[in-house]
Amino acid sequence: RGVLRSAIEPTLKKPIILRVSGGTSMVGKDLANEVITTAIDDVIRINASAVGLSIFVGSDYEKQTLENLVNLVNECEKFGIPVMAVTAVGKELKKRDARYLALACRIAAELGAKVVKTYWCAENFEKVTNGCPVPVVMAGGPKCETEKEVLEFVHDGMQKGAIGINLGRNVWQNPHAVAVMKALYEIVHKNASVDQAFDLFNTLKN
């Protein structure tokens, strides 16, 4: 909410999903030790369209973060505000396989999340989306080596049941961020192939 208030004009018409979990950092001992950081009255005051928080299934703080999700859903349901659960893994990237992600997504949906944000995995990603009764959005994960890698995993995930993407460093840390976004738009919204999107990227970056 601090970034939203200080960096985004209040007249913005674009819907915003407000991150409402935190309390830890990369320099701390465990990223999973999160709390809910924003009260429901502030969510309403800010006029967020939805809220998002992380759950850390399988971590030492699994119960705490799942309880955060339950409490947030209980509050948000009173006002019709959707909750997006993020199946975070912290620094333990080895957990990013279909079996783990499918379990985490299913738990999030069963506890009331209206949307789940999760990582793409190279094998059996369709098991993740097919096993989750609410829409699945793909996170970006670690920075890819090339733009084509980004386009490839997004295309694969969209073909296997994801409804959209929520990428960070693979867009913002690219020197041609606008070109990457436009190429991704073609894949997500116009069902473009990887080659078509990559050709567009190369045209726009020059």
Instruction: List, by residue number, the catalytic residues.
Output: 117
The set of residues, in sequence order, having a beta carbon less than 8 Å from that of 29 and lying 6+ positions away, is none
Question: CA 193, CA 200: separation in Å to the nearest integer?
Answer: 11
DSSP 170: H
Question: CA 157, CA 136: separation in Å to the nearest integer?
Answer: 10
User: Mind giving me the DSSP string for 33-73?
Assistant: --EE-S-HHHHHHHT-SEEEEEE-TTSTTHHHHHHHHHHHH
- Torsion, CA 128, CA 130, CA 136, CA 141, rounded to 10: 20
Beta strands in 56-162, from DSSP E residues, in sequence order? 83-87, 115-119, 136-139
What is the Cα gyration radius of the chain?
17
Q: How far is CA 142 from CA 7, 44, 75, in A?
A: 25, 33, 33
